[in-house]
Amino acid sequence: MKLRFIFLLFTALISCEKRESNWIDRSKHEGLFKQELTDEFEVYASLEEPKNINNSILLLDTSKKYFDNVFSENLKFAVLFIDSENWDKYAFSPPPGMPQAYYQGNMVLGLGKSVIALNAENGIKNAPEPVHKLLKKHFGEDIDLDLFYRDALSLHELGHLYQFYRTGKYSQRKWLNELFGNLCQVGAARSLDSEMVFNRMDVLQSVMSKGKQWDNLKFKTLSQFENDYFTIMQAGQNYGWYQTQFFFRAKKLHELFGDTILNQFRNFLMETSPEVAGELDDETLQKLIRERFGNDFFEIVQWDYH
């Protein structure tokens, strides 16, 4: 019996080791230039000498330590900095500069001025003067929104990698994934010594939620988010609106439950993965959320489902 246990333990250790080293999809690194900028994770770029990525790397270095601690992992992953011209070759979705996490160990971030930041910067040009003043305070005289769209959101994507490492590409609901991504984003930003990164997320999304650009959105419910996900993602405005809803809910959850909620939520995603739990209908899923996390949690995340 004892021998059998040791054998099983040994096999489990080997398969764990195998999963760790095999999980990064290296076919996505073809044609990219490897950068030696940190020992914490691998970095590649579509330009030989990329500029202005040190700040992102520093932020991810610190956040990796936070996530490793919160999730009891030592996650291996790679960050790919891709310029707009090469975006479609390496990222799985437009627009160029939209941070994304692949299922297998890779995160894609924009390089140079990303199209998504540029569009947002153009969008706020007509905003009232007090809004400009506020944004300048957090994003500098030139209002550089890559500080949000690349640097701040990279924490969100890194959170997804910790999720995918355990769940693979399977998930019960996309909205649960995105709520989790935002919870990771909030937790990691709040763990930093300075409040600067968190304030950038908070201020920009508060400003956007008061603007007129979201007055006539086509999709607003969670079931639409599930069923029309790719249409919503491609219509960037509507996707931005959903993300902001998730962000403010994640902020409340983190205020109430602190860092422990991150690991509890990831465990929930693993347990309710369709591979493990099968396909759950809305009613069953809501019951499970309420049972696991209680009424306060449920009241914050509940939303018009239909």
- Residue numbers of the site for Zn ion (CB under 5 A)? 178, 181
- The closest residue (CB) to Zn ion is 181
**Minimum separation from the CB atom of position 282 to Zn ion (A):** 21
Which residue number, 50 or 146, has a Cβ lying nearer to Zn ion? 146
> Do strands 100-101 and 33-35 pair parallel, antiparallel, or not at all (unpaired)?
unpaired
Residue 134 CA to residue 207 CA, distance in Å, equals 9
Q: Of all helices (H) and strands (E), which one includes residue 5?
A: helix 2-22
Rounded (10°) angle between helices 260-271 and 282-301: 170
For residue 226, count other CB atoms closer than 10 A to its CB: 16
**Minimum separation from the CB atom of position 103 to Zn ion (A):** 12
3-class secondary structure per residue, 187-237: HHHHHCCCCHHHHHHHHHHHHHHHCCCCCCCCCCCHHHHHHCHHHHHHCHH
**Minimum separation from the CB atom of position 185 to Zn ion (A):** 8
For residue 49, count other CB atoms closer than 10 A to its CB: 7
**Minimum separation from the CB atom of position 33 to Zn ion (A):** 27
**Minimum separation from the CB atom of position 137 to Zn ion (A):** 27
Nearest in space to 173 (alpha carbons), one of 277, 294, 293, 297: 277
CA angle 276-163-189, nearest 5°? 150
Which residue number, 37 or 186, has a Cβ lying nearer to Zn ion? 186
**Minimum separation from the CB atom of position 269 to Zn ion (A):** 13
Residue 29 CA to residue 35 CA, distance in Å, equals 12
- Residue pair 238/98 in contact (Cβ under 8 Å)? The answer is no
Beta bridge partners, 160, equal: none
**Minimum separation from the CB atom of position 177 to Zn ion (A):** 6
Rounding to the nearest 10 degrees, give the CA dihedral for residues 234, 237, 238, 244: 120
Q: Of all helices (H) and strands (E), which one includes residue 25?
A: none
Which residue number, 96 or 240, has a Cβ lying nearer to Zn ion? 240
Beta bridge partners, 26, equal: none
Which residue number, 81 or 175, has a Cβ lying nearer to Zn ion? 175
**Minimum separation from the CB atom of position 128 to Zn ion (A):** 30
Which residue number, 42 or 157, has a Cβ lying nearer to Zn ion? 157
Residue 170 CA to residue 162 CA, distance in Å, equals 14
CA angle 192-197-199, nearest 5°? 115
